Amino acid sequence: DEFIRARGSEAFQAQVKSVLTPTAFILQFLARGVDMNNDQAKLTYLNAALKTIGKISNPVARAVYVKQLADTTGVPESALNQSLPAPQQAVPQQSSAPVSYQTAPVNQPVRPIDRYTAAQRQLLYYVWHDDLVMQRLKNAAFTFPAPHFQTLFTGWLDFLHEQPDGELAGFLDRVDPDLSGVAASVAMQVLPEATEATIDELIQTITSASTVERLQAIKQAITEAQRLGDKQKLGELTVQYVNL
């Protein structure tokens, strides 16, 4: 959201398409506005970037990002590698089958974003950043209505099962490319610290059957208005959809 407010939605979409992984997106986002001629600013950026890269276990990916960091800052790769944190080790699993976080392509969130979708994005953000929220939803067997949010939720739970001390950057690096844009937009939100009241309100919004039914009815009406070419009706319905 901070990136979108600063540069606009078109710039965000272009940025998402131009990067290979969410990790690359985060590194470029961290570098925004950094004066590489200012030693203190460069060191601050390097510390944050190395911490992000250090959470990646794949040695090839680490090498690629270190090279990119060296090209951006002018610091030799050898020096960066000396300061790079050791990769996190995965917890051995009983099954020999590899853990996969990839999924089949799913539909992207609708535009414009309504309160129902926004609530899911915010709740997923809190799941990623607050263990108490994550445990609450896990214990309640909570399900996100939108498939892409549910996939990211269950993927995060599986990731933590494999790596109990895993960090978000490491998880984002494993997200399927079809979900990388959604994951990045959720991760880059700037939200206040979660409170019980906030989480209650988000869950209420998401699970409200009446809200879902009204949204579906309005979406059907929008489709019909588009078919008939009724621009006035389409505008009225769009406003209702956003405000719901």
Among residues of the chain, what percentage have pLDDT more than 90? 21
Residues 136 and 68 in one domain: no
Residues 120 and 201 in one domain: yes
Cis peptide before 192 (omega within 30 of 0): no
- How many residues in the chain? 244
Residues 74 and 155 in one domain: no
For residue 134, being part of any structural domain is answered with yes
For residue 28, being part of any structural domain is answered with yes
For residue 43, being part of any structural domain is answered with yes
Give CA 120 to chain center in angstroms.
12
- Could you give the CA distance from residue 31 to residue 98 in angstroms, rounded to a whole number? 34
The per-residue pLDDT for 11 is 57
The enclosing domain of 159 has a CATH number of 1.10.860
Residues 163 and 183 in one domain: yes
The per-residue pLDDT for 106 is 43
Report pLDDT digits (tens) over 198-236. 999 999 988 875 566 677 788 888 888 888 888 888 888
Other C-beta atoms closer than 10 Å to the C-beta of 30 total 17
Q: In sequence order, what DSSP letters do the residues of 185-196 get, joined into one string?
A: HHHT---PPP-H
Report pLDDT digits (tens) over 2-39. 555 555 555 555 554 444 466 777 787 778 788 888 88
Residues 46 and 23 in one domain: yes
For residue 101, being part of any structural domain is answered with no
Give CA 10 to chain center in angstroms.
17
The per-residue pLDDT for 8 is 59
* Statement: residue 69 has pLDDT above 60: yes
Residues 202 and 220 in one domain: no
For residue 239, the enclosing domain spans 208-244
Residues 197 and 226 in one domain: no
**pTM of the predicted model as reported, rounded to 2 decimal places:** 0.50
Give CA 210 to chain center in angstroms.
28
Residue ranges in the chain assigned as alpha helix (H): 2-7, 9-18, 22-30, 39-54, 59-73, 77-83, 115-129, 131-139, 147-162, 168-172, 177-187, 196-207, 209-228, 231-243
Residues 164 and 242 in one domain: no
* Statement: residue 177 has pLDDT above 70: yes
The per-residue pLDDT for 119 is 92
Two tokens, residue 34 = 């950094």
Two tokens, residue 186 = 């959720």
Confidence of residue 126 (pLDDT cuts 50, 70, 90): very high
Q: 127-144 burial, b if ≥16 CB within 10 A, otherwise e?
A: bbeeeebbebbeeeeeeb
- Could you give the CA distance from residue 53 to residue 66 in angstroms, rounded to a whole number? 8
For residue 164, being part of any structural domain is answered with yes
Under DSSP, the state recorded for 89 is P
For residue 97, being part of any structural domain is answered with no
For residue 78, being part of any structural domain is answered with yes
Two tokens, residue 47 = 């510390």
* Statement: residue 151 has pLDDT above 90: yes
3-state secondary structure of 244: coil
**Averaged pLDDT, 130-159:** 94
For residue 12, being part of any structural domain is answered with yes
Among 83, 100, 127, the domain boundary falls at 83
Among residues of the chain, what percentage have pLDDT more than 70? 77
- Could you give the CA distance from residue 121 to residue 182 in angstroms, rounded to a whole number? 9
Residues 121 and 63 in one domain: no
The per-residue pLDDT for 98 is 38
Residues 181 and 220 in one domain: no
Residues 78 and 9 in one domain: yes
Number of domains making up the chain: 3
Two tokens, residue 137 = 């939803």
Residues 151 and 218 in one domain: no
